[in-house]
Amino acid sequence: MKRFFQSLYIDKRLIIALAVLIFLFILGFPYFIFLVIAKIAFVLLCLAVIVDFFLLYLQKKGIWASRDLTDRMSNGDENPVYINVENYYQFPVSLEVIDEIPHQFQRRDILFQLNLASQKRGQLTYKLRPTERGVYDFGRLLVYVKSPLSLIKKRYAYDLSKEVAVYPSYLQLRKYELMAISNRLQDIGIKKIRKIGHNLEFDQIRDYVIGDDFRNVNWKATARRGQFMVNQYQDEKSQPIYNVIDKGRAMKMPFDGMTLLDYAINTSLILSNVALTKDDQAGLLTFSNTIDSVVPAGRKKNQMFQILEMLYRQKTEYKESDFGVLYQGVKHSFKRRGLMMLYTNFESLVSLNRQVEYLRRIAKHHLLVVVFFENKELLDFKDEEAQNTEEIYEKTIAEKYVLEKRQIVKELQSYGIHSVLTSPENLTVAGINKYLELKARGLI
DSSP-assigned letters across all residues of 145-164: EE-TT-SEEEEEEE---EEE
pLDDT of residue 202: 55
Q: Which amino acid is at 438?
A: L
pLDDT digits (tens, 9 = 90+) for 367-416: 999 999 998 777 777 777 877 887 777 788 878 888 999 999 999 999 99
Q: pLDDT, tens digit, for every residue of 208-228? A: 887 777 788 888 888 888 888
The mean pLDDT value for 142-150 works out to 91
Summarised one tens digit per residue, pLDDT across range 322-350 is: 999 999 999 999 999 999 999 999 989 99
Count of CB atoms within 10 A of residue 83's CB? 22
**Using alpha carbons only, how large is the chain's radius of gyration in Å?**
33
Average pLDDT, the chain: 86
- Which residue ranges does the chain devote to CATH 3.40.50.410? 170-194+237-440
Question: Which of 2-6, 48-52, 434-438 shows the lowest per-residue confidence on average (mean pLDDT)?
Answer: 2-6
Question: HSE-up of 357 (CA within 13 Å, CB side)?
Answer: 4
Q: Hey, which residues does 258 pair with through a beta bridge?
A: 255
Distance between CA atoms of residues 17 and 46, nearest Å: 11
What is d(CA 61, CA 76) in angstroms, rounded to the nearest whole number? 39
Beta-bridge mates of residue 52: none
User: Terminus-to-terminus CA distance in the chain, angstroms?
Assistant: 74
- Give the right CATH number for 63-167 from 1.10.238.10, 2.60.40.10, 3.10.20.600, 3.40.50.150: 2.60.40.10
**Under 8 Å between Cβ of 131 and 159:** no
pLDDT of 241 > 70? The answer is yes
Domain with CATH 2.60.40.10 in the chain: 63-167
Please tell me the distance from the alpha carbon of residue 63 to that of residue 326, in angstroms, as a whole number: 59
Residue 316, pLDDT > 60, answer yes
Upper half-sphere CA count for residue 332 (Cβ side, 13 Å): 9
Q: Please tell me the predicted confidence (pLDDT) of residue 323.
A: 96
Q: What is the pLDDT of residue 386?
A: 76
- Taking the whole predicted model, whether its pTM rises above 0.85 is answered as no
Contacting residues for 280 by C-beta, under 8 A, at least 6 apart: 237, 238, 239, 240, 241, 299
Task: Please say whether the beta carbons of 141 and 158 come within 8 A.
Answer: yes
What is the reported pLDDT for 205?
82
Residue 6, pLDDT > 80, answer no
Backbone angles phi, psi at 143, to 5 degrees: -125, 120
pLDDT of residue 3: 57
Hey, what CATH class is 170-194+237-440 in?
A: alpha beta
The predicted structure's pLDDT at residue 47:
84
- Express each pLDDT in 242-284 by its tens digit: 999 999 999 999 998 899 999 999 999 999 999 998 889 999 9
